[in-house]
């Protein structure tokens, strides 16, 4: 697979919105990619290609856009999809992991029976910025005995530190599109 050609193609589809949600922010709108069926399919196919031989047993997606890319990936790979949600959204016994935001703290939850010891898990989300949510997600999976070596993203913004943070946490990072200094 020609990752560089795919990146150029996806950059043509992903819309950029300046000064959203506030002045000074350059927002990468992945919804435009979801609305383009052939491009959306290429994203899922690319993830399948890169992870086909890794022995992945479960896909874990973080609320909410991690669901959008993680669930079809799990379907395409013929494996389970596990959602990680904000507090109070999962009905059964769950575990929780807090993480720092720019101005405060948040938490994520995972059903306590969603991951078995030894499950080989791929984390999936739409965008990697600071890495806080995926770092917390990896901690949840590891707390249940899951093995997490890889995280996949449609978009990465390396200048915000998430790539480095997650690599230091022991994760291999795949992003199909990178925006650096753009």
Cα(110)–Cα(164) distance, integer angstroms: 25
With a cut of 90, say whether residue 102 has pLDDT above it: no
Residue 15 domain-assigned? no
Are 166 and 128 in contact by the 8 Å Cβ rule? The answer is yes
In a domain, 6, yes or no: no
> How high is the pLDDT of residue 103?
73
Give residue 1's pLDDT: 87
Domain count, the chain: 1
**Residue 32 counted as domain residue:** no
Alpha-carbon span 182 to 178, nearest angstrom: 9
Q: Does residue 148 fall inside a structural domain?
A: yes
Q: Domain range for residue 95?
A: 53-178
Q: What is the pLDDT of residue 180?
A: 86
Is 124 inside any structural domain?
yes
Q: What is the residue-wise DSSP string for the chain?
A: --HHHHHHHHHHHSEEEET-SSTT-EEEETHHHHT-HHHHHHHHHHHHHHHTTTT--EEEEETTHHHHHHHHHHHHHT-EEEEEB-TT---S-EEEEEEEETTEEEEEEEETTSS-TT-EEEEEEEEESS-HHHHHHHHHHHHTT-EEEEEEEEEE-GGGSHHHHHHHTT-EEEEEEE-S--
Q: What is the CATH number of the domain that holds 65?
A: 3.40.50.2020
Residue 171 φ/ψ, nearest 5 degrees? -105, 140
Residue numbers annotated as active site: 65, 102
Average confidence (pLDDT) over 21-37: 95
pLDDT in tens, 13-28: 999 999 999 999 999 9
8 within some domain: no
Q: Model confidence over 70-88: pLDDT tens digits?
A: 999 999 999 999 999 999 9
Over residues 107-128, the mean pLDDT reads 98
Closest to 51 in 3D by CA, of 77, 87, 28? 77
> Model confidence over 60-74: pLDDT tens digits?
999 999 999 999 999
Q: Is residue 140 part of a domain?
A: yes
Q: Kindly state whether residue 144 falls inside one of the protein's structural domains.
A: yes
């Amino acid at each position: 697979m020609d990752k560089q050609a795919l990146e150029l193609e996806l950059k043509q589809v992903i819309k950029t919105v300046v000064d959203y949600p506030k002045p000074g922010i350059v927002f990468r709108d992945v919804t435009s990619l979801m609305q383009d069926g052939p491009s959306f399919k290429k994203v899922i196919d690319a993830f399948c290609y890169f992870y086909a031989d890794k022995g992945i047993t479960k896909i874990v997606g973080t609320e909410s856009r991690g669901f959008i890319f993680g669930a079809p990936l799990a379907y395409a790979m013929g494996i389970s999809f596990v959602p990680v949600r904000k507090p109070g959204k999962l009905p059964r016994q769950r575990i929780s992991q807090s993480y720092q935001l720019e101005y405060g703290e948040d938490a994520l939850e995972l059903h306590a029976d969603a991951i078995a010891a030894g499950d080989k898990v791929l984390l999936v989300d739409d965008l990697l910025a600071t890495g806080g949510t995926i770092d917390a997600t990896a901690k949840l999976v590891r707390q249940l005995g899951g093995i997490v070596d890889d995280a996949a993203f449609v978009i990465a913004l390396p200048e915000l530190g998430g790539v480095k943070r997650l690599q230091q946490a022991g994760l291999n990072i795949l992003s199909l599109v990178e925006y650096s200094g753009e």
